[in-house]
Amino acid sequence: MVSPECTGSDLRLVPRYSRLRRLFCTGLALIWALVNTALSACQVGCEPPVPTRGPRTVSAERFLMGTVWSIQVVVGSQRSNRQAEEAIESALAEVERIEAMMSEFDPDSAVSRLNASAGGEPVAVPPELLGLVTRSLEHGARSQGAFDITWRALAPLWQLEEPDFAPPSAESVAEALARVDYRQVIVRQDRIGLLRAGMAIGLGGVAKGYAIDRAAAILEAAGIDRYLVDGGGDLRVGGDRGDGPWRVGIRHPRGGHGQALAVLEPAGGAVVTSGDYERFREVDGVRYHHILDPRTGFPATASMAVTVVAPTAEAADALATAAFVLGPLAGRTLVEGEPDTEALWLDPQGNAVMTSGFGRLLAPPASVPIGTGDRRPVDPVRSHPR
């Protein structure tokens, strides 16, 4: 504690103090001034020191692309919470940017401008969109049309959310199918053309996967290598969660929330599920869902659900759609032709079919229940619907 004689703005000296005492008081006053300056600066710009204990999880959520996005990152003692939050914010901003470019629901998006040009001359598009469309056309060729971004021409017939929804007639579906064909999309340098009037593309089967990959790239560029990016149930993970591997629960398509078909422990990469249980209507005992077979124009019937694990979310997203449409027999051939990619199907009867390496991804106990009646609760895991 400072002596009363050492206080005061002019630091008046009492005669009995020595030269040493004078120097001491002057130095003490300077130190006190520096401390006050530092404390004032911290009030506007500092955050609590980073704990030196084990890894911490920082997360954020946002509604984007019609669903809830969640990003979790694991940070250690060398990174502050603020740095992690800034990286997450940048990743979510990247998703928002991609949505503005690729949404067919935004009339000002590049995709909407492309759709408006159908039947006319090819139009210039951003390089990212050009690349994604080109890769999507390749998925269409490899899947023999089971994945087709021109499915969008069928969308007006399948408004499942409408209160008065009724299945469309075979005649109206056949008329719309005349405008569904990925081979009628042409790519010329920086331009894309839709050859038939009334055609339209919809990137719902691949754009979200691409956005997940871009969000992961933003995190990695910021030096974060342990993360989970969740775009409405489609996931990409990096590293581990600090206390063990990330755990991903695959929801049983006929079970409730909290009931899982299996639990995965991926060391990295993406996990994407397509199923007939998130968006559907039942009419006269028939389930009509949102995953259309672009070859028939009606909801696909060869699968109840399929989960794909792949190195990137874009690839997993497109493959999950194609594999769902194809079913486990033809779909397994498609998936096993892709490097480092595995899949699990439930066929329409609820029987599980896996690719040869899928079992290695299962968390202990490494088993998958067979049949719709065999369900086991799994907790705590991240439920993984679509």
For range 23-31, the mean pLDDT: 46
More confident residue, 228 or 12: 228
Of 79, 51, 57, 53, which Cα lies nearest the Cα of 227? 57
pTM for this model (two decimals): 0.81
- DSSP conformational letter for 361: G
| Tens-digit pLDDT profile for residues 39-74 | 444 444 444 444 445 689 999 999 999 999 999 999
- Structural domains present in the chain: 4-45 (no CATH), 105-194 (1.10.3980.10), 247-386 (3.10.520.10)
Interatomic CA distance for residues 216 and 235, integer angstroms: 10
The band of 21, judged by pLDDT with boundaries at 50, 70 and 90, is: very low
Let me know the angle formed at the C-alpha of 241 by 369 and 342, rounded to the nearest 5 degrees: 40
Quick one: residue 335, left, alpha or beta (phi over 0 = left, psi -120 to 50 = alpha)?
Answer: alpha
| Backbone phi, psi, residue 266, to 5° | -70, 140
Q: What is the dihedral of CA 295, 149, 234, 158, to 10 degrees?
A: -60
For range 370-379, the mean pLDDT: 31
Contacts of 328 (CB under 8 A, 6+ apart): 302, 303, 306, 345, 347, 353
Cis previous bond, 365, omega within 30: yes
pLDDT at 367: 55
Q: Look at residue 148 and tell me whether its pLDDT is greater than 60.
A: yes
pLDDT at 258: 64
pLDDT at 364: 79
Q: Look at residue 369 and tell me whether its pLDDT is greater than 70.
A: no
The band of 77, judged by pLDDT with boundaries at 50, 70 and 90, is: low
Q: Do the beta carbons of residue 219 and residue 238 sit within 8 Å?
A: yes
Tracing tokens 């051939």 back to the chain, one arrives at 333
